[in-house]
Structure 1
Amino acid sequence: MDLTEWLTARGGIAHRSDAADHGFAPGHVRAAIRSGSVRRMRAQWVALSSAPDDLVAAAAASGRLTCVSLARHSGWWVPDKAPADLHLQVGPNAHRHRADATLHWGAPLVDCGPRRLTASVEDALAHIASCCSREDARVIWESAIRMERLDIEALRLVEWREPRSRILAEEVVGLSDSGLETIVVVRLSGWGVPLRQQVQLAGHRVDIVIGSHLVVQIDGYAHHSSSAQRGSDVAHDAELRLRGYTVLRFSYSQIVHGWEDVERTLQAAIARGLHLPPRQRR
């Protein structure tokens, strides 16, 4: 395997010490740089032209991807209104600046060593807590828990430095099937009505149950796009209605762009007692 093949297998960018550890002598790396097959990023990094732009920017700034930038890089669910600029973690004594980036200064919660271009999950979550609104931060934290298979109790034992991180660590439950579900749960959590997530009813899981009998199902971008799955959803909704449940379905567009209408619909349903067992309704 030559250097370019090795870099490709590593995502297009690597620390030169890692290249040396894999048998690529410094002279071999310098020759590849001179030939133009790879490029040097500062003193310690080499990259292919196909390397991800965010990692290249982190290497050029001697920093690590963090906050919402790491969330997007890792495939966590990030709300559209979350900060869109590049977020980098840099050491307390860093002296290089990027005018087009948000820099998170200070010693890391978890020291990943000099050969990584991504902050630890814990550091990224802490930066998200400080940068984003409470709702957006909760959405991203819940997604990270699901995607990275984080243990919630271990997360609560982290020595978080900021109150917002400590509060989020206590709030997250790790049950949301999507970011949209978390948005709904956060927005309804102050209503004083019991909420349960991912409840098994009539042989299938439902997203949210308000009270005991008001079921909220959330359809995302490509949710249940096949006719067969849509038919299964309709059949399950019908079975729930026969058992006395009220089923309300909401789309991505309704939740993100038309929340006031969603809220009014849910308020009307609760006002009519649809969250209660049928025999208790007025």
Structure 2
Amino acid sequence: MRNGISHTSDIRAAGFTVHDVAGAVAAGTLQRVRRSWIAVPECDARRIAAATVGGRVTCVSAAALRGFWLPASAVHDKTHVSVPGTASRIDAAMVRVHWGTGPAPTGRSEHEDPILNVLFHVAHCLPERDALAVWESAVRQKAVPADVLGLVAWRSSRAAALAAVVSTLSDSGLETRFVDGLRRAGISVRQQVWIDGHPVDGLIGRSLVTQIDGFAHHSRAADRRRDLEADARLVMRGYVVLRFDYHQVLFQWDRVLETIRTAIAQGCGRRLVRPTR
């Protein structure tokens, strides 16, 4: 059993007979999800949902199973399932169906899409900024090398565009959205620049530093004090530091962008700064 579920052809290939399977189902050790799919009772509901319609878990559902960053709006969505073009009689109220064909081939006994197909569907399902964040999360978690993405024949302009810009520099999906938003506004920002012995999330011009606090950031008062001390050291060296949190970047982006634009207009990125060792 792979992840608690298996195609009957794989079960037979492992040496188990039809009688073995029937006995296990009768005993409650296994459950028959579909004529050709068998699962353990504790199998993840998303894998069960995909097998029930004869498809594979994909897109944000597969990304969640792999532990990738996801926007909050996608976390509680219906199970996303990739199905062949010949599939029929699918209950759309139960799953969210993806009909497109990803770049990687799949077999009939697979219950989850390969990583390249997961990213392919994410590119088409989410807004571009969110999709980019998921892609970079996959790269950070070493699910796929960034350079490999650029060599894939995506057969999709949206996926190809993401592959062209994905990088390993963002510490979080939140930072990806932040940097992408600035670049769309015509603001050039360098990521993970080392100043005062530590990397800053973003540096605009010579002296405007941007720092991003994620959703789980500052769970301890000591973490907050450490960041305040780091900000103070930067200010004493001539830098201007703008720090934004999760809620601001996701839900108050216009205000964040206006703040940064105003700081740039005031010359905050052109100040003379003291060199650091």
TM-score by length of 2: 0.90
Distance 1:120 1:91 in 2: 15
Give the conservation status (yes or no) of the 8 Å contact 2:240–2:268.
Answer: yes
Change (3 A) 1:47 1:67: same
SS at structure 1 position matched to 2:73: coil
Aligned residues: 271
Distance 1:236 1:20 in 2: 61
Partner of 1:161: 155
Distance 1:28 1:213 in 2: 69
Partner of 1:124: 118
Correspondent of 2:20 among 10, 28, 35: 28
SS at structure 1 position matched to 2:158: helix
Higher mean Cα deviation, 132-141 or 83-92? 83-92
Correspondent of 2:265 among 259, 271, 276: 271
Give the conservation status (yes or no) of the 8 Å contact 1:135–1:186.
Answer: yes
Matched, 1:226 2:220: yes
Correspondent of 1:50 among 28, 37, 42: 42
Distance 1:219 1:73 in 2: 25
Change (3 A) 1:149 1:204: farther
Distance 2:254 2:181 in 1: 11
Determine what percentage of the aligned residue pairs are the same residue.
Answer: 41
Partner of 1:249: 243
Give the conservation status (yes or no) of the 8 Å contact 1:214–1:245.
Answer: yes
Change (3 A) 1:258 1:191: closer
Partner of 1:174: 168
Higher mean Cα deviation, 241-250 or 78-87? 78-87
TM-score by length of 1: 0.88
Deviation of 1:160 (Å): 0.7
Change (3 A) 1:66 1:211: same
SS at structure 2 position matched to 1:87: strand
Deviation of 1:204 (Å): 1.2
RMSD: 2.0
Partner of 1:11: 3
Deviation of 1:22 (Å): 4.5
Correspondent of 2:69 among 68, 72, 77: 77
Matched, 1:93 2:65: no
Give the conservation status (yes or no) of the 8 Å contact 1:139–1:182.
Answer: yes
Deviation of 1:107 (Å): 4.1
Deviation of 1:106 (Å): 4.6
Give the conservation status (yes or no) of the 8 Å contact 2:191–2:200.
Answer: yes
Higher mean Cα deviation, 258-267 or 156-165? 258-267
SS at structure 2 position matched to 1:165: helix
Give the conservation status (yes or no) of the 8 Å contact 1:66–1:118.
Answer: yes
Give the conservation status (yes or no) of the 8 Å contact 1:16–1:45.
Answer: yes
Give the conservation status (yes or no) of the 8 Å contact 1:193–1:211.
Answer: no
Give the conservation status (yes or no) of the 8 Å contact 1:82–1:136.
Answer: no
Distance 1:120 1:275 in 2: 44
Distance 1:99 1:267 in 2: 45
Correspondent of 1:203 among 192, 197, 202: 197
Distance 1:113 1:190 in 2: 40
Alpha-carbon displacement from aligned partner over 1:203-239 (angstroms, at most 9, x marks no partner): 1121111222111111112213223332321221122
SS at structure 1 position matched to 2:46: helix
For structure 1, list consecutive stretches of 5 or more residues without a partner in the other structure: 1-6
